[in-house]
Structures are given as structure tokens and as C-alpha cells.
Amino acid sequence: MKEASIFGLEANFYAAREILEKINRTSPSRPQVLSRLIQVCEQMRDYTAAAGYLRHALRIVQDSAELNAKRQRYQEMGLGG
């Protein structure tokens, strides 16, 4: 996870996403990983993938004000978050 954060800070979003997706496959449904995946996908402007990770995160952490606000913004953009 630290390595993905470092890549993110270096704006190497492809490498960060690859690491985070690997973590998500081996340890699925971790809110922190999903949150970082959403951020990385947004930086890559892959809003469809970000919306998918957001939907998954909201199934796990339903009472997150931050995630619910993001879902509202995505819905306003027509992404169906």
C-alpha cells in the first residue's frame, strides 16, 4: 500500500493503480484500498472505473459522508456512482 501511495505522489497513476488492483484482488473489499483506487482512477480520468469502485465501497461503508457526496457528484455527471 505504501508503494502505491508513493507512485500516486509521483503522479505515476498507472503503477499505483496496478498495485492497488492487485491488493484488491488478494484482499477484496478493503475500504481504504477502494478509496485509493477511486482517487487514482479519478486522476487518470477513468471515471467509469472510479464509479464502479465507488459503488463497491458504498456497499461496504454505507454511512460515509465523503463517499455519499462523491456518489451525488457522480450522479450529477451522469456516471451513476
Residue 6 has pLDDT above 80, yes or no: no
Q: Give the fold, CATH level 3, of 2-76.
A: 1.25.40
Mean pLDDT of the region 50-55? 95
Identify the band that residue 49 occupies on the pLDDT scale cut at 50, 70 and 90. very high
Task: Give the C-alpha separation, 67 to 73, whole Å.
Answer: 10
> What's the distance, CA 69 to chain centroid?
14
Domain extent listing, the chain: 2-76
The better pLDDT of the pair 34, 6 is held by 34
* Average pLDDT taken over every residue of the chain: 89
The answer to whether the Cα torsion of 41, 39, 43, 3 is positive or negative is negative
Express each pLDDT in 23-40 by its tens digit: 999 999 999 999 999 999
The pTM is what?
0.85
